[in-house]
Amino acid sequence: MNFDLDYILQLAQNHEGVDIEFKETTGQLDRGMETLCGMLNGDGGIVVFGIKNSGKIVGQEIGDKTTRTIGEALRRFEPAVEIQPKYVKITDSDKKLIVFEAEGNNPDRPYSYDGRPYQRHDSVTSVMPHDRHSRMIMHRGGLRYKWDTLPNENLKFEDLDESRIHWAIRQALELGRLKDGAYTRDPIAILEKFKVLKNGVYTNAAAVLFGKDFFYYHNCIIRLARFRGKDKREFIDNQQIEGNIFDLLNEVTPFFLKHLSVTSRFEGMYRKDELEVPINALRECCANALAHMDWRRTASVGVAIYDDRIEIENPGMLPEEIPAEKLTYGSHILASHTSDPPNEIIARGMYYSGVIEHWGRGLAMIFEECNRAGLPQPTVTDEMGVVRVTFMRPNLSGHKHDPINDPINDPINIALVYKDFLTSGNAVNQTIIANLAL
């Protein structure tokens, strides 16, 4: 931008804000650079030295010492910044204004100044919270730095489940998510098609999608628990399943069928039996938890059923542009956001194989299913590095869940729900059938 005195005078009249900061002299240089750092980490802005907080123009004399000090300060940004100060002469004075302009939404963010990251909120600059800083680092640089794309030099074809590889490509073809020409009986070509093998080297995605041995992947686990009451003091059922992503999802549906009650409603003359919380919403939530989790950590996906709610959680964070508190049914963010999973190759393999029903619409589909069933909207929280989706269970006439006498353990009830589930024509449900047949 071409800064001149008239433009700066106009800025001074409008006072400070989220994208405008004034400093009287370079004696406040560090504070000004911290603000510039916060602007770099946000939507950009301008820092001007030589203006009081009140907007009064005072200017500053510029000498060699001042320019050297500024240059040294700019070198304390990490990553390096291409910012050059602009000097604007004040009319009828030897003094000048020093202007720094920061462009926002830079793919290299988060930036830090003198070893600390900063953020800008209204006209206040503060140290960036750890979780926001971690989220920005996770998204920095795009696909090249994502965990699932990183090579695993120790992974060999013998470590993978070949039958699962062929199953995945058949699913993709049957669902029309890959063209017929993509099919080959060569499993190596299949893995290249799924982008989990590149230049003869397997990626981390290959291990978690198709692996057999998870000694080095301690997060290839799903924790399944049914608690008595509304807290974690007493287990009714507690399982910890190890396996690749497809194997883990295979264990989820029987667990829900075992511990959730059946509800009935009539469609015309026919009675329809289904789980109290739609099974498609629960499975989609589990699939999304695995697709979006932070696989760099040793934590894993967990499913907990209480008397009043179901919680599905995964280690990770929501994208910065999708704050949890604004994710509501029918919201603009939910309808308009694009899918940018932190594990794009893993998510792609799950979508091709049919375990994710809608690319980029997982949460919207979950909300729609619960709304169709007349249930409260699930809540989403993003705290302490854990994303949690909570489904409230309906009050079924005061029914108490007993592990022995629970109606869901009645084979007739299970059969009724499972019949509807398997004959729905839903692509995800048909994928489950194929899984169970393996």
Q: Do 122 and 219 fall within a single domain?
A: no
Residue 225 and residue 433: Cα distance in Å, rounded?
24
For residue 167, being part of any structural domain is answered with: no
Residue 340 and residue 330: Cα distance in Å, rounded?
20
Residue type for 23, please?
A: K
Nearest to 187 by CA among 173, 166, 208, 213: 166
Residue 349 and residue 169: Cα distance in Å, rounded?
9
Q: What's the mean pLDDT when you consider all of the chain? A: 84
Q: Do 249 and 393 fall within a single domain?
A: yes
What's the pLDDT score for residue 94?
A: 92
Q: Do 243 and 390 fall within a single domain?
A: yes
Q: Do 315 and 433 fall within a single domain?
A: yes
Q: What is the mean pLDDT of residues 289-311?
A: 92
Domain endpoint, select from 104, 128, 152: 128
For residue 165, being part of any structural domain is answered with: no
Q: 389 with 240: CB under 8 angstroms?
A: no
Q: Do 116 and 213 fall within a single domain?
A: no
The tokens describing 25, both together, are 């002299």
What's the pLDDT score for residue 406?
A: 47
What's the pLDDT score for residue 108?
A: 84
CATH code, domain carrying 71: 3.30.950.30
Domain endpoint, select from 112, 128, 144: 128
For residue 407, being part of any structural domain is answered with: yes
- Of the listed ranges 108-112, 116-120, 130-134, 307-311, the one predicted with least confidence: 130-134
What's the pLDDT score for residue 433?
A: 46
CATH code, domain carrying 364: 3.30.565.60
- pLDDT tens, position by position, 154-179: 899 999 999 999 999 888 888 888 77
For residue 201, being part of any structural domain is answered with: no
For residue 189, being part of any structural domain is answered with: no
Number of domains composing the chain: 2
Nearest to 378 by CA among 313, 292, 293, 294: 313
Beta carbons within 10 angstroms of residue 297's beta carbon: 14
Range of the domain at 239: 207-437
Q: Do 420 and 303 fall within a single domain?
A: yes
What percent of the chain is predicted at pLDDT more than 90? Answer: 50
For residue 159, being part of any structural domain is answered with: no
CA atoms within 13 A on the CB side of 138: 26
For residue 187, being part of any structural domain is answered with: no
What's the pLDDT score for residue 180?
A: 67
Residue type for 187, please?
A: P
For residue 180, being part of any structural domain is answered with: no
